[in-house]
Structure 1
Amino acid sequence: MAPSIKEGTIPFDYPSAGKQCETWYKIVGDLSSGITPVVTLHGGPGISHDYMIQFSDLYELYGIPVIFYDQLGCARSTHLREKAGDETFWTEELFVAELNNLVEKLGVAEKGYDVIGHSWGGMFGSTWAGTRPKGLRKLVLSNSPAFMKGWTDAFGRFLEEMEEPYKSVIVKAEREKNWDGENMEEAMMAFMKKHSAKVMPPEFFKSFGFLKEDDTVNMTMWSGPSEFHVLGGLRDWTSAEKCKSIEVPTLVINGVNEGASDEAIKPYLDGIKGVKYVKFHNSTHCPLYEEKELYLKTIGEWLLEK
């Protein structure tokens, strides 16, 4: 029997937004089943939840209800293009407030819930978890750096090792600050297949398609057009101290040759008490695609452990 699926929006009142906002969500499974649901935090910032939709299999395989949502400024949630470039608005605190509002309005804060954060989702998920939020039971930080410099250092090494002619194309674009140059798209696709996702299903491109429609969040917070230098508000971001306050069981995951390198995740492993660490040796940044069966088994069984 197909799982029940519920979609909707919840109001999110954030005074500095200047208007009433809404967060779009999707629930796969029954929140009243008695099994602790898991909330997924997508990456980006500025893409959508779609690339994570295969986490729906946690319900099929283990009966775990899964909650997806599009973060503010992304895809189906409220857009605020008028806030483009405003680093005082597009902050980690905004997305923490939105997540707290989501779990409260969906009624899971009272009953308890788990969280899976991937990439940027795990970044702000780690600092949010350090505030000891109500109802949080377990936390998964998947392919998420603990500090921004760890990510950019890894990408810098990968660029140095990139084969020609792709390396020269990217280096030239970075030097001239012209990322629309000839062959740039082909060069970046070759880079991503080595360091982001060796397998790219349609939902991967769907998430990034939303970024093309509205790049407000990404341009303000992350890289702008560059993938190798974080120029936005997250350029000095770190969770190295805040993650030490996490008190719930935490699973940290990474792959090989990815931005969330062993060095980039080390503060999580050193700072979070009782942390469990799993490395996927046949994956880069997206083991959900590259080693899907083992990845979902690892997470599903760990979430169900007492």
Structure 2
Amino acid sequence: MSTITTGTAAFHDAETWYRVTTPDEPREGALPLVVVHGGPGMAHDYLRNLEALADETGRTVVHYDQLGCGRSTHLPDAPVDFWQPSLFVSEFENLVAHLGLERYHLLGQSWGGMLGAEIAVTTPDGLASLAICNSPASMQLWVEGAAELRDQLPTDTQEALARHEADGTTTDPEYLAATQAFYERHVCRVVPMPQDFVDSEEQMEAEPTVYHTMNGPNEFHVIGTLRDWTVVDRLPAITTPTLVVAGEFDEATPATWQPFVDGIADVRSHVFAGASHCSHLEQPEEFRAVVAPFLAAHDELRDAARAS
């Protein structure tokens, strides 16, 4: 069994909470993996099952809650323009420095993959590999993909979504029920939702500042500060080996993540048949079986040790 420790890293006038899973039998040269959650504001809980990679691959796995959610400092009174991708890039860099990680892998899911791309375009010295999971390269592509998926919902569900969005009544039970129908098709196809996902969602609903400010009321009605976000034109700057994965029924449709494949020089991709946005919850063993060899192939310290 692995060992779990938790702590906080000071960041500006706040704190970033983190959880470190250390394998009892570390594999020589296996670089740590930092897992970056989505939302924004979803907290790490729904990605917790990736800690299994610690014992399975002999590497340390780091989870953390980004500023404004989970167990990190909440800032409900922060101004709208405070919540920018650059804030979370700085927070990630601060956490890596706090933990003393000289070389590491980064796996980001959904918004976490978007943030991972933002980090990778800065070409940090310590980044050994990047896994972009279920993520769009631009929010315009995301919105277009979501519209296509909405058109496949039952007519009465589509009408309920459109009516309440037009009226600004997105907390109405009818609207929430229609949203759930979309989620069960394209966000997580495990019914009932896994408890880890429920835990992340409940903390976000209890204090939704980050999610509502940056995204909007739900996954497909994007009216927040991220609505014009794109990394497409900056992707050639990413020199890190990159893995792009998605689910067959993912709300991150193929058109949303194809720019990563087209724009990053050293890249490979994989689609999980039968899965959607939370591929790691729907097909956990298959997900780790794809990620683990990718990480092992880019454990540069291991390769350097062998060369010597």
Shift of 1:211: 0.7
| Partner of residue 99, structure 2 | 106
Q: In the superposition, relative to structure 1, how do residues 210 and 5 fare at CA in structure 2: closer, same or farther (>3 Å)?
A: same
Residue aligning to 2:201: 208
* Per-residue deviation, 1:87: 3.2
**Candidates 41, 52, 58, aligned match of 1:57:** 52
User: Amino acid of the residue matched to residue 154 of structure 1?
Assistant: G
Whether the 8 Å contact between 2:23 and 2:54 is mirrored in structure 1 is no
Q: Does 1:96 align with 2:89?
A: yes
- Report the Cα offset of residue 186 of structure 1: 2.1
Over 3 Å counting, the alpha-carbon distance change for 1:226 and 1:248 in structure 2 is closer
Aligned partner of 1:87 among 75, 80, 89? 80
- Report Cα offsets for 1:176-204 as digits up to 9, x if no partner: 22112242222211110101010121010
1:255 to 232, 247, 271: 247
1:160: which partner in 2? 151
**1:174–1:226 CA contact under 8 A, matched in 2:** no
1:45 pairs with one of 40, 48, 56:
40
State how many pairs are aligned: 294
**55, 72, 77: which is aligned to 2:72?**
77
How far residue 164 of structure 1 moved from its aligned partner, in angstroms, is 4.0
* Larger displacement relative to structure 2 (170-179 or 99-108): 170-179
Stretches of structure 2 that go unaligned for 5 or more consecutive residues are 299-308
Offset at residue 219 of structure 1 (A): 1.5
CA distance in 1, matches of 2:41, 2:127: 24
Aligned counterparts of 1:106 and 1:221: Cα–Cα separation in 2: 28
1:12 paired with 2:11, answer yes
The structural deviation recorded for 1:251 is: 0.2
> What are structure 1's unaligned runs of at least 5 residues?
14-19
Residue of 105, 122, 144 corresponding to 2:113: 122
In the alignment, which residue of structure 1 is the partner of 2:306? none
* 8 Å Cα contact 1:87-1:232 kept in structure 2: no
Q: So what's the TM-score if we normalise by structure 1?
A: 0.92
User: Matches of 1:182 and 1:37 in 2, distance apart?
Assistant: 43
Verify: 1:67 aligned to 2:96, yes or no: no
Say yes or no: does 1:28 pair with 2:21: yes
Residues of 2 paired with 1:295 and 1:123: CA distance? Answer: 19
TM-score (norm 2): 0.92
Shift of residue 75, structure 1, vs aligned partner: 1.1
Q: SS state of the match for residue 190, structure 1?
A: helix
Distance 1:250 1:5, change over 3 A: same
Letter paired with 2:253: S
Distance of 2:105 and 2:235 partners within structure 1: 17
- Answer whether contact 2:3 2:24 (CA < 8 A) is retained: no
In the TM superposition, residue 157 of structure 1 has moved relative to its aligned partner by 1.1
Q: Contact conserved, 1:173 with 1:179, CA < 8 A, in 2?
A: yes
Alignment equivalent of 2:231, drawn from 236, 239, 246: 239
Letter in 2 for 1:74: C
How far apart in 2 are the matches of 1:134 and 1:213? 37
Query: 8 Å contact 1:154–1:258 — kept in the other structure?
Result: no
1:213 shift after superposition = 1.8
- Deviation of 1:166 after TM superposition, in Å, equals 2.0
Give the C-alpha shift of residue 257 in structure 1. 2.9
Q: Aligned partner of 2:88: which letter? A: F
* Deviation (angstroms), 1:168: 2.1
- Contact 1:39/1:115 (<8 A) preserved: yes
Letter in 2 for 1:62: T
C-alpha distance in structure 2 between counterparts of 1:297 and 1:25, whole Å = 25
Deviation sequence 1:56-109 (CA, Å, 0-9, x none): 1111211121100000001100111111xx33210000000000000011000x
1:127-276 equivalences under 5 Å are 127-199=118-190, 200-223=193-216, 225-276=217-268
Q: Distance in 1 between matches of 2:252 and 2:157?
A: 22
Distance of 1:263 and 1:136 partners within structure 2: 26
